[in-house]
Amino acid sequence: MDKIALSVNRLYEKFPYPSLPIRTEHDLISKLHANIMGKILATAGLEPDLLSGKEILDAGCGTGEKACYFSYYDAHVTAIDLCRSSLQKAMGLAERFHLQVEFGHCDLAEFRTEKRFDHVFCLGALHHTRYPYKNFAALADLCKPGGTITVGLYNKYGRLAHRVTRMWIGLRAGSDIDKRLEYVEKSIYRRKLRSVHETAYVADKYVNPHESYHSVGEVLGWFEKNGIAYIGAHPQVGEGGFSAFLTQLRWMVKGSGFFIVSGRKN
């Protein structure tokens, strides 16, 4: 485990992410969570009912909400994360709803298995690693021919204003996790954080010690190098490189800092 992985893991051990307020089955498969999952699946041309019997990898599963959603629809789910605190919450969530998920404690960069998957998901994890492309390529290798891979990353344009905010927080509060979080409460939120989920969200957004930023064109280049054909994205991007660039400039204005792209392995 490298220094970046250690520092990032230190944050998540203290603030397991995302720690969504899922207390009932309805919370898991309906309402806001279902809306989010529907948008993720749509980028790969998938619907919940198409997951039954499929082998799914959730790489960087966090507190397990996505993994449990997949399992609810009868997928065979393998979910890995470096953070033991997150995995503990994830296993508790699966147990609450009597769902079968194979959880594993593992650094994303070191994950190895003989198993191959119909669908690989890695949402919000690659940009917290030292070598995002190298780790993407390793995940792409775990995808079956004809299977899909879905990645979620911070956008280099849409997250620009937020990067300035993070730099300012660093200048004012330094690198200490607790001091940075305290500064965000006092100077940005101007109130105490109200829930476990909100605290985890703020810690991930403002306090994370390492994140990288990527463009749609860059990720499509990753796809091409690994024999993956583009399927879809969220937010949607236009046809062609220039159109995608203009779309990302609009994301910069809107502050849309996170994007999801899916492709199919040849």
pLDDT of residue 239: 65
β-pairing, 117-123 vs 55-59, is: parallel
Please choose, from the candidates 173, 160, 145, the residue with its C-alpha nearest in 3D space to the C-alpha of residue 253: 160
**Structure confidence by residue, pLDDT tens digits, 150-190:** 999 999 999 999 999 999 999 999 999 999 999 999 999 99
Which residues are 77's β-sheet partners?
56, 101
Q: How far is Cα 241 from Cα 45, in angstroms, rounded to an integer?
A: 21
At 104, is the secondary structure helix, strand, or coil?
strand
Residue type (1 letter), 189: Y
Average pLDDT, the chain: 96
Return the DSSP state at 153.
E
3-state secondary structure of 217: helix
Q: What is the CATH number of domain 3-155+211-240+255-265?
A: 3.40.50.150
State the average pLDDT over residues 126-148.
99
**Structure tokens that stand for 83 in this block:** 């953070």
pLDDT at position 245 over 90: no
Domain spans, the chain: 3-155+211-240+255-265
Res 70: pLDDT: 99
Peptide bond into 235 cis (omega under 30): yes
Q: What is the pLDDT of residue 254?
A: 85
Q: 38-74, pLDDT tens digit by residue?
A: 999 999 999 999 999 999 999 999 999 999 999 999 9
If pLDDT is split at 50, 70 and 90, which confidence band does 34 have? very high
Closest by Cα among 123, 117, 119, 83 to 103: 83
